[in-house]
Amino acid sequence: MLVIPSAYYLGIFIAKTFNEEIFPDDIKSKACLLFESIENPIYKLCGINKSQEMTAKEYFFTIFYTNILLCIFSFLVLYFQTSLPFKGNINFQLDIPIILHMLSSQITNTCQTHHIPEQHLTPLSNYFIMPLLMFYSSASGIATGIVFMRALIYGKIGNSYVDVIKAMTRILFPLSIISSIVFVSLGTPNTFTSSITYETLEKVKETLLLGPIASFEAIKLIGENGLSCLNANSAHPFESPSYLSNFIQVFCILLIPTSLLIVLGIYLKNIKQSITIISVLYIVLIFEILLISFFELKGNVEINNIIGLDAPNWIGKETRFGIAGASIFTALVSNVSGSANSSFDAFNPIAIALALFNLSNQSFFGVQGFGLVFTINFIIYTAYLIGLMLGRTPEVFGKRIEKKEIILSSILILINPILVLTSVAFTLIMFPENGGSTFDHIHYYTRVFYEFASGAASNGSGLEGLDDNNAYWNLSLAIVMFVARYAAMSSMIFLGASFVNKPTMPSGVVTLKTDNFLFGTVFLFFSIISTVLTYFPFIILGPISEILAKN
């Protein structure tokens, strides 16, 4: 739980980064000057006016259009990757659906992987385009979270270019550099040699693929993207070589979401608010870990019988209590936080049910920046219901919650079920059979459900076993991811902006306290209940009936 103190300092740093005017003393600090010397040329190069205030509409569309532009550029590179330099020994022509899926997946910070990176992508695509998209999407996410808080608390929108650039130069790059150094020191290879060939003990020639894995790993985890340059993801020994590196991965994943919650407290000048929410989220996290560990360790004989493992079988007899525990831990945490680095198919259905729950809820840490907004959105929802019970027009952080806010925040909550449930229904009707490794209706349904849930939640993990690298899957998921991301982003920015012109109510006797135990408990209850009410029947039909079928 080293995360919290580190997140605290990072939180202060982020708070200062994005709202300079509230900390006037720090404007001229050395670090700040250093960053500015990097940023200013970028602003100049792009013709950005640093101090220009944007409207919510401008803010959203500037992010949206720059994302699209980046996608068009990346599309061209990927489509012509075999004709471009740095192609290594890859000679794979990508078809349009897979490229669209890849782009949609990267730019939405989902990083669902249908391709096999080390076989399908040239080093240029794999080590330049992919990280570029990962950085940019991650920064866009952070900017969304920041602009939401800034609008809600300070009543200001700000400038999207400045926010995105700052998110990259001041947060993502430095953190990625630090963590990649750590990963290298732990034994993750970081080289531009793309493969080495060696002879195994059986004298068979095998090719071992290498690359700047550590750097990739850093942005994958820091940015919560979850895209790997190797197909097996973190389960690959090169990506996470040891028990210790597993924990560092967990640390990296939780770092930014936690520190964004600290930023919330700093902006509100009420750090107790952060503590309340962080405690609730960590309690959920720990509870889920305990629950899954219990079922995993109890039922690992069965698990070995479960089909469709495409990750290395990490439950080895000798090391099962060590590595297995760590892997569960990592895998689960990644799932909670919205970054996937393990194949979930191998897990007990209970774990899958919980994972589906997390994906549907999205507020338990969730995706970079977005998770924060989902969390605050549930705070708004809870504050609305409780506020009514205080007998006054409900307020959150001193701002009244009215019709417009309720509509936008309901849209935000409804986007996920609408996209997921309709696309699941559509898929089951149109493509009732899929040639996965073994076919079972219930499990196929669970997989389809999981695939869309993870896409819509910009999570990107998958149950695999789906033959998902085909035109239908690539295109449908590309659409789901794209719509989910930008529909959510726009409603987030507009929701935040709707608070801009509202006066801040001074707190009084009859003000709802959002930073105490009572609120924390009710917040937890309502955020769980709102997800359970929508998804309970579907989780019952999927993973739970699988459990029942086995008993």
Q: Which residues bind other proteins (CB under 8 A)?
A: 384-393, 398, 401-403, 405-407, 410-411, 413-414, 417-418, 421-422, 424-425, 428-429, 432, 441-442, 445, 502-506, 508-513, 518, 522, 525-526, 529, 532-534, 536-538, 540-541, 544-545, 547-549, 551
Least Å distance, CB 276 to other proteins, is 15
Residue 340 or 373: the one with the smaller Cβ distance to other proteins is: 373
Strand partners, 399: 396
Residue 163 or 546: the one with the smaller Cβ distance to other proteins is: 546
Strand partners, 358: none
Least Å distance, CB 290 to other proteins, is 21
Token digits of residue 405 = 């806010």
Residue 370 or 445: the one with the smaller Cβ distance to other proteins is: 445
Least Å distance, CB 528 to other proteins, is 10
Least Å distance, CB 157 to other proteins, is 20
| Helix (H) or strand (E) run with residue 285 in it | helix 271-298
State how far the Cα of 82 lies from the Cα of 78, in Å rounded to an integer.
8
Residue 58 or 402: the one with the smaller Cβ distance to other proteins is: 402
Least Å distance, CB 499 to other proteins, is 12
Residue 11 or 387: the one with the smaller Cβ distance to other proteins is: 387
Residue 153 or 165: the one with the smaller Cβ distance to other proteins is: 153
Residue 310 or 440: the one with the smaller Cβ distance to other proteins is: 440
H runs (alpha helix) in 108-226:
117-120, 123-124, 130-149, 160-166, 173-185, 213-222
Least Å distance, CB 467 to other proteins, is 18
Least Å distance, CB 518 to other proteins, is 6
State how far the Cα of 298 lies from the Cα of 251, in Å rounded to an integer.
27
Strand partners, 196: 208
127 SS3 class? helix
Least Å distance, CB 520 to other proteins, is 13
Amino acid at 487: A
State how far the Cα of 182 lies from the Cα of 214, in Å rounded to an integer.
9
Residue 182 or 424: the one with the smaller Cβ distance to other proteins is: 424
Token digits of residue 88 = 């290594």
DSSP letter at 172?
Answer: I
- The residue among 43, 42, 41 whose CA lies nearest residue 52 is 43
Least Å distance, CB 358 to other proteins, is 18
Amino acid at 400: R
Own/partner pairs, 523-529, CB within 8 angstroms, 24+ separation: 523/277, 523/280, 523/378, 523/379, 523/382, 524/280, 524/283, 524/284, 526/378, 526/381, 526/382, 526/385, 527/361, 527/363, 527/364, 527/378, 527/381, 527/382, 528/361
Q: Decide the pairing of beta strands 399-400 and 395-396.
A: antiparallel
Token digits of residue 287 = 């509870």
Least Å distance, CB 545 to other proteins, is 5
User: At which residue do the structure tokens 């970028």 appear?
Assistant: 42
Residue 190 or 545: the one with the smaller Cβ distance to other proteins is: 545
